[in-house]
Structure 1
Amino acid sequence: MSEESFNTLNGKVDDLIDLCAEMKRENQVLKAEKSTLQHERQRLMEKNQLAKTRLQSVLDRLKSMENC
């Protein structure tokens, strides 16, 4: 293998190492964002359920008032 070929190959390996490190960092960021979004989704689902429960309570009271 000539020195030029070796240097070219070495450069490509270095590029792959850099790319791998960059992708690893990006993956960590995406995992953190995913976790944050999952928690936010859970919070919103709980909030939505509470709103449904309250609305149903109001509707039930209105129905009982109609029957009086």
Structure 2
Amino acid sequence: MTEPPADPLQTLTARVAALAELCRRLADENRSLRHSQEQLIAERAQLVSKNEQARARVEAMIHRLKALEDNA
């Protein structure tokens, strides 16, 4: 025996509920990804700053070494 066709309203209601749940999950994932992106951008800015500081220190050492070499 075959099943009677499902009520179209119930089918539509179930599909809308599934889409609403998917939308909620995607919004949560999007929020999480944006938060991660903000953290990575901040971390990158810190690393760039540290890199610039290290470069400046190395350049200063090179200048001091050259000055010492010129005085020798």
Q: Alpha carbon RMSD of aligned pairs, Å?
A: 1.3
Deviations along 1:14-61, whole A, 9 cap, x unmatched? Answer: 110000000010011011101111110110000000000000000001
Match of 2:60 among 26, 39, 57: 57
Q: Normalised by the size of structure 1, how large is the TM-score?
A: 0.91
Higher helix share: 1
Larger radius of gyration: 2
Query: How many residues are paired up?
Result: 67
* Structure 1 unmatched ranges of 5 or more: none
Instruction: List structure 1 segments (4+ residues) > 3 angstroms apart after TM superposition.
Output: none
* Structure 2 unmatched ranges of 5 or more: none
Amino-acid identity (%): 31
Equivalent residue for 1:13? Answer: 16
